[in-house]
């Protein structure tokens, strides 16, 4: 297709944005093992309950996870099978990248120094 609908494009961007937080990726990774409630996730991820709820809200709003109320508890589960494929795809790419990087370093004989990169600060 030549011209992409702006609204659809914004949706795709939103979908990727939902996947662009380490904590949300951790949540999804936990949910791969099966449904979990907020309390369980909070303990597993070692962060505040408010934060977990907020991130679950984001994932839920964009359709990545679904909520099942059970008494006072709220169980979340992965609602979109594409999540599995997406994460596997990127993780695979990452593995390849790291592998070739490791090979290069091995050939070069140096230790890697890979500081966390942000979108704005461009290291030289």
Partner DNA sequence: TTGCTATATCGCTTAATAGTAATATAGTAT
Partner DNA sequence: ATACTATATTACTATTAAGCGATATAGCAA
Name the residues that contact DNA, by CB under 7 A: 17, 20-23, 37-39, 42, 47-51, 53-58, 67, 71-75, 118-122
Number of C-beta neighbours around residue 60 at 10 A: 16
User: In the structure encoding, which two tokens stand for residue 97, read together?
Assistant: 């990248």
Q: Which does 101 bind (CB under 5 to 8 A by kind): a copy of itself, DNA, none?
A: none
Q: Are 82 and 90 in contact (CB under 8 A)?
A: no
Q: How far is the CB of 16 from DNA (least distance, A)?
A: 11
Is residue 26 within the footprint of a copy of itself (CB under 8 A)? yes
Using the structure block, give the residue that is written with the tokens 């990774």. 29
The region of 14-22, 35-43, 45-53, 65-73 touching a copy of itself under the rule CB under 8 A is 14-22
Pairing of strands 36-37, 65-70: unpaired
- Find the binder of a copy of itself among 108, 110, 119, 124 (CB under 8 A): 119
User: In the structure encoding, which two tokens stand for residue 45, read together?
Assistant: 């991820």
């Amino acid at each position: 297709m030549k011209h992409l609908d702006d609204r659809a494009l914004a949706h795709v961007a939103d979908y990727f944005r939902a996947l662009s937080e380490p904590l949300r990726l951790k949540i999804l990774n936990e949910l791969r093992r099966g449904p979990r409630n907020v309390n369980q996730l909070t303990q597993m991820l070692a962060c505040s309950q408010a934060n977990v709820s907020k991130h679950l809200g984001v994932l839920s709003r964009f359709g990545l996870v679904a909520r099942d109320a059970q008494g006072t508890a709220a169980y979340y589960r992965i609602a979109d099978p594409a999540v599995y494929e997406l994460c596997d795809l990127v993780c695979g790419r990452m593995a390849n990248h790291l592998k070739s990087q490791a090979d290069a370093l091995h050939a070069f004989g140096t230790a890697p120094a890979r500081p966390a990169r942000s979108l704005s600060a461009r290291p030289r």
